[in-house]
Structure 1
Amino acid sequence: MRMNFVISKNTTIISKYIQDRTVNNASKILQRDILRTVVGNGPDNNVELVLSDMLTKTEDFFIKTISENCIQIVSSTPLGLMYGALEISRTILGIQDFWYFTDHIPKKKQQIIWNNFDLKLPKYRTKYRGWFINDELLVSSWEDRNSNEYVWERIYETLLRLGGNMIIPGTDKNSSHNRKAAQNMGLIYTHHHAEPLGAEMFARVYPNLKASYEDYPELFHDLWRTSIEEQKDSNVIYNLGFRGQGDCPFWAEDPERNWSDQEKADIINQIINLQYEMVHQSNPNAVCSINVYGELTELYNLGLLDFPQDVIEIWADNGYGRMVSRRQGSHDPREAVLTAPNEKTCSRGIYYHVAFHDLQAANFLTPLPNSPGFVSNELMKVRNVKMDELVIVNVGNIKPHILFLNEIARFWKSNYQSRSIEEIISEHVQSHYQQYQEEIEEIYRKYFEAIIQYGPHEDQKAGDEFSFYLIRKIIRAWLKNSSEIEQSSWLVKERTIDEQLDKIHDLVYSKIDCWQSLLNHAQKMYLMLSADKEAQEFFFNDIRIAIEIQARGLSALIRIIDAYSIYKKDDLVASFLLIFTSQQEIQNLCNLIKENPSDKWFDFYDNDGYTNITLTEEMIRTLLNYLRIIGDGSDEDNWERKFVMDSTESRVMLLSNTRKAMDDNKIARKIRENEERFS
Structure 2
Amino acid sequence: MRNKLSIYVVILLLMATTVGAKNVKLYNNIRIHDKTESQAVAYARKALQQDFQRKFGTSVSQESAIDIVLNIDKDWNAFDKFKIEINSGKINFIGSDELGLLHGIYTFSEDYLGIDPFVYFTDIVPQPVSSIQVKAGIVTSKPYTYKHRVFFVNDEDLIVGFQMEKLEYGFNLEFMEHFFETMLRLKMTGVIPSTLVLADEPHLKLASDMGLYIAQHHAEPVGSVPLYWPKNIPYSWSTHKEHFVKFWRDAIERQKGENVIWTLNFRGYLDGAFWHNDPNVSHDSPLAEKAKVVNEVIQTQYDLIKEITGNETPLVCGYLWSELGGMYRAGLLKYPPQTMILFSDQGYGEFPKGTWESAKKTNLGKGVYQHVSYHNRKTHLRINTIHPDILHREMDLAISHGLTDMIVLNVGNFKEKIFGVQQMVNYMNDFDSYKEKPTGDYYFDWYVNDKFDSSSPAIIQSYKDFFANQFDLGDPERKPGDEWFFFYVEQLLNMAYQKEFDDKFVKKEFPGDGQKEFQKLKDFHSKMDFILDAYAQIYRATGSKWSVSVQHTLDAKSALSGGRLNFYNVDMALPTQKMFHLTAMAADFTESLNYYLNKEYHKSQLAAYAALEHAKKANEIETKIEQNGSGKFKDWYRWDETALTYRIEEVLENYMAHVKDLKYFNLEYKNRNSKTPGIQHKYQPFFESEYQKELIYMENAK
Q: 2:404 aligns with which of 388, 397, 402?
A: 388
Match of 1:160 in 2: 184
Deviations 1:186-211 (A, max 9, x none): 2111100010111132x524122221
Q: Please say if residues 373 and 385 of structure 2, whose CA atoms lie closer than 8 Å, have aligned partners that are also in contact.
A: no
Match of 1:590 in 2: 619
Q: Please say if residues 595 and 602 of structure 1, whose CA atoms lie closer than 8 Å, have aligned partners that are also in contact.
A: no
* Letter paired with 1:517: K
Structure 2 CA distance, aligned partners of 1:30 and 1:605? 31
Q: Please say if residues 515 and 547 of structure 1, whose CA atoms lie closer than 8 Å, have aligned partners that are also in contact.
A: no
Match of 2:240 in 1: 216
Q: 2:635 aligns with which of 565, 589, 603?
A: 603
Match of 1:362 in 2: 379
Deviations 1:249-268 (A, max 9, x none): 11123589553322211111
Q: 1:114 aligns with which of 120, 123, 134?
A: 134
Matched, 1:181 2:200: no
Q: 2:276 aligns with which of 241, 248, 252?
A: 252
Match of 2:65 in 1: 44
Cα separation, partners in 2 of 1:436 and 1:77, compared to 1, 3 Å? closer
Cα separation, partners in 2 of 1:92 and 1:212, compared to 1, 3 Å? same
Structure 2 CA distance, aligned partners of 1:161 and 1:174? 26
* Letter paired with 1:577: L
> Structure 2, unaligned stretches of length 5 or more?
1-19, 689-702
Match of 1:95 in 2: 115
Deviations 1:6-45 (A, max 9, x none): 433321221122x311121121111111122223331122
Deviations 1:330-372 (A, max 9, x none): xxxxx5322226545111111101111112x322x42332310
Matched, 1:310 2:338: yes
Structure 2 CA distance, aligned partners of 1:438 and 1:255? 60
Q: 1:338 aligns with which of 334, 356, 373?
A: 356
Structure 1 CA distance, aligned partners of 2:603 and 2:102? 63
Match of 2:162 in 1: 142
* Letter paired with 2:366: R
Structure 1-normalised TM-score? 0.87
Deviation at 1:290, TM superposition (A): 0.7
Name which structure has the greater RCO, CA cutoff 8 Å, separation 6+. 2
Matched, 1:428 2:447: yes
Structure 1 CA distance, aligned partners of 2:101 and 2:409? 24
Q: Percent identity?
A: 22
Q: Please say if residues 315 and 349 of structure 1, whose CA atoms lie closer than 8 Å, have aligned partners that are also in contact.
A: yes
> Structure 1, unaligned stretches of length 5 or more?
325-334, 650-654, 665-679
**SS where residue 89 of structure 1 aligns?**
helix
Deviations 1:465-508 (A, max 9, x none): 22221111112222233333764532247586553663464256
Cα separation, partners in 2 of 1:254 and 1:609, compared to 1, 3 Å? same
* Letter paired with 1:76: S
Matched, 1:206 2:211: no
Q: 1:77 aligns with which of 97, 100, 111?
A: 97
Matched, 1:551 2:583: no
Matched, 1:376 2:392: yes
Structure 2 CA distance, aligned partners of 1:291 and 1:425? 31
Deviation at 1:646, TM superposition (A): 5.3
* Letter paired with 1:526: L
Cα separation, partners in 2 of 1:61 and 1:303, compared to 1, 3 Å? closer
**SS where residue 245 of structure 2 aligns?**
helix
Structure 1 CA distance, aligned partners of 2:28 and 2:147? 37
Q: Please say if residues 371 and 448 of structure 1, whose CA atoms lie closer than 8 Å, have aligned partners that are also in contact.
A: yes
Matched, 1:272 2:301: no
Match of 1:642 in 2: 669
Match of 2:654 in 1: 622
Structure 1 CA distance, aligned partners of 2:469 and 2:675? 50
Moved more, 288-297 or 380-389: 380-389
Structure 2 CA distance, aligned partners of 1:395 and 1:137? 10
* Letter paired with 1:452: F
Q: Please say if residues 573 and 631 of structure 1, whose CA atoms lie closer than 8 Å, have aligned partners that are also in contact.
A: no
Q: Please say if residues 320 and 460 of structure 1, whose CA atoms lie closer than 8 Å, have aligned partners that are also in contact.
A: yes
* Letter paired with 1:431: D
**SS where residue 348 of structure 1 aligns?**
strand
Q: Please say if residues 240 and 290 of structure 1, whose CA atoms lie closer than 8 Å, have aligned partners that are also in contact.
A: yes
Deviations 1:242-288 (A, max 9, x none): 11121111112358955332221111111011111111223213111
Cα separation, partners in 2 of 1:128 and 1:383, compared to 1, 3 Å? same
* Letter paired with 2:183: L
Q: Please say if residues 82 and 104 of structure 2, whose CA atoms lie closer than 8 Å, have aligned partners that are also in contact.
A: yes
Structure 2-normalised TM-score? 0.84
**SS where residue 338 of structure 1 aligns?**
helix
Deviations 1:54-96 (A, max 9, x none): 321321111235x633221112211111111111111111101
Match of 1:398 in 2: 414
Match of 1:417 in 2: 434
* Letter paired with 1:63: I
